[in-house]
Structure 1
Amino acid sequence: MNKRSTPGSQQQRPSASYRSSSVDVPRSANRSLVPTNSRNNALERVAKNPIRFHEENGMMVPDGYTARQIRPAARADVVTMARAMNHDFAPKAKAMFQSEIDAAHEAIEKDLYISYRQPGKDFDCYRIGSNGKCFCGHTLSEHVKFTGKVNRLKCQAASCTCDAFAYVPSRPDEVGEFWLTKRPGFDASTWRAKCKCGHPHDRHEPKHKRCKECSCSNFISNFSCAACNNHWEQHETFFERGSEREQQKLPTGEFYMPFSELPDMQQVILTGSDAHMPSPYLDAAPRRPSIQQSGDIRGRAAALQTSNRAAIGYEQQPNPSIRNDRSTNANNRSPVRGPLRGSHRATEE
């Protein structure tokens, strides 16, 4: 029989004073022990062994380390690098700058230079032609013609409230979003420059730039210019004659053409070919010589292959006999050794 436990025989639980320790050990939120002197020890180690620095090339470098000063290239050859990374560099460059080439020809012919740039700058971010897109969504040809007196060209499209032509980028390349054109099925003609509210420019009121879809009160671009890396609202559209540009020391005539300072690159965008340009990166790349086997090597390889097949029990057979052997073996259920491939079959021992 089991001995019954009596109330007096039960062991008494230790008191709280017995269980608690006299040393107050700090605990973290997850009840793990935290040493109280870890931070003090780290500070003591740093105080005893301080990190010493020395000056090298105008920089403070820890002892035991060396520093190499990074300097920009004296002559950055970005064109050659772009050609090495893109096999269709020339056709893409021509397609990208074709609208600016046409605009430059129009400007030289009419002596009317329409450009998109920041006020006070001495370079044009974009050359605008008759097909240039306005903020209202209509082209320059749909606005009043420039007479030389008023720069605010009103839109002539029906029910359009635009009172002044304001150029807006119409292709993703103009704002540096080059990856969009590489997407399968992407249609660049459907792309629109967007505001920070998320709606495109043609969903904003042309005169006061208020959004028609939300409570946005002004168009604030969510993109930057690919030429100067500044926002759309920091640019203006300029209508200038050649004499006015010469007074401001801005390029005119043939110097208004894209890449007039880089004749080789200008030839690429005009012709769509880069055959006239040297390729130092491509020419310097090591070329693997082609391996040509002599007749002696081919003969020895064929003899070795034949001897190996004879050693493992293969013999040459025409294709029809293979099909007959397969059917016979299937009917007689005789074991077949080795695989039946091509014009060879396995022979029985």
Structure 2
Amino acid sequence: MTSQLYKSNGIYTSYTSTTGRDCRTMEPGTQCFCQHVYKDHKTDFEFIPKERPIRLPCRAPGCKCASYYYVPAKCCSAIKCHCKHAPEEHEEFGNFVCKRAECNKCTGFTSSLLCGCGVPICEHRMTVETGDERENRRKARKH
């Protein structure tokens, strides 16, 4: 986990395990499943949306990404799906199904790789929240 939290316009974005631990907090250059980075996604809300989860769609032209989703990496390379294909070979929306024509077994990107917290990465989710919501999860709010 990074030592400082990055706050973008009043929201915090983190990759959270089922235990509630923030395993990775997002920073401007952190890559999304759509191959764009966090700063390419909408985080500049005039008002924080009341709808949960808060969606952070990609603003890159032609990108179909409906909301930022972190892609964990193993050492210096991205992980692969159970279908043996890389994240960039999967759709950037929905369940992230493989786009390769010959891949008919993929129902969505999944991996049994364990996160550093000991929980499989498939048991993590993106958490987009306000500082108050973060405090309510008993996390320290940092500025």
TM normalised by structure 2 equals: 0.80
What's the CA shift for 1:158? 2.3
Q: Does 1:153 align with 2:35?
A: no
Q: Does 1:211 align with 2:98?
A: yes
Q: Give the secondary structure class of the aligned counterpart of 1:114.
A: strand
Q: How does 1:96-175 map to 2 (within 5 A)?
A: 100-101=2-3, 104=4, 106-107=6-7, 111-119=10-18, 121=20, 123-147=21-45, 148-149=48-49, 151-169=54-72, 171-173=73-75
Aligned pair in 2 of structure 1 residues 105, 211: CA closer, same or farther (>3 Å)? closer
C-alpha RMSD of matched pairs (Å): 2.3
Q: Give the secondary structure class of the aligned counterpart of 1:125.
A: strand
Q: How does 1:46-125 map to 2 (within 5 A)?
A: 100-101=2-3, 104=4, 106-107=6-7, 111-119=10-18, 121=20, 123-125=21-23
Aligned counterpart, 1:318: none
Given that residues 112 and 122 in structure 2 are in contact (C-alpha distance below 8 angstroms), is that contact kept between their aligned partners in structure 1?
no
Q: Does 1:245 align with 2:134?
A: yes
Partner Cα distance (1:110, 1:142) in 2: 14
Partner Cα distance (2:59, 2:99) in 1: 21
Q: Which string of whole-angstrom CA distances, capped at 9 and with x for unpartnered residues, describes residues 261-281 of structure 1?
A: xxxxxxxxxxxxxxxxxxxxx
Q: How does 1:246-285 map to 2 (within 5 A)?
A: 246-253=135-142
Partner Cα distance (1:156, 1:193) in 2: 25
Given that residues 154 and 164 in structure 1 are in contact (C-alpha distance below 8 angstroms), is that contact kept between their aligned partners in structure 2?
yes
What's the CA shift for 1:221? 1.2
- Which ranges in structure 1 are unaligned for 5 or more consecutive residues? 1-96, 174-187, 255-349
Q: How does 1:279-298 map to 2 (within 5 A)?
A: none
What percentage of aligned pairs have identical amino acids?
29
Q: Which string of whole-angstrom CA distances, capped at 9 and with x for unpartnered residues, describes residues 66-93 of structure 1?
A: xxxxxxxxxxxxxxxxxxxxxxxxxxxx
- Which ranges in structure 2 are unaligned for 5 or more consecutive residues? none
Given that residues 194 and 222 in structure 1 are in contact (C-alpha distance below 8 angstroms), is that contact kept between their aligned partners in structure 2?
no
Partner Cα distance (1:219, 1:206) in 2: 10
The structure whose residues are more often strand, as a share, is 2
What's the CA shift for 1:119? 4.4
Partner Cα distance (1:159, 1:253) in 2: 35
Aligned counterpart, 1:224: 114
Partner Cα distance (1:164, 1:233) in 2: 17
What's the CA shift for 1:233? 2.4
The structure whose residues are more often helix, as a share, is 1
TM normalised by structure 1 equals: 0.35
- The structure that has the greater radius of gyration is 1
Higher RCO (CA < 8 A, seq sep 6+): 2
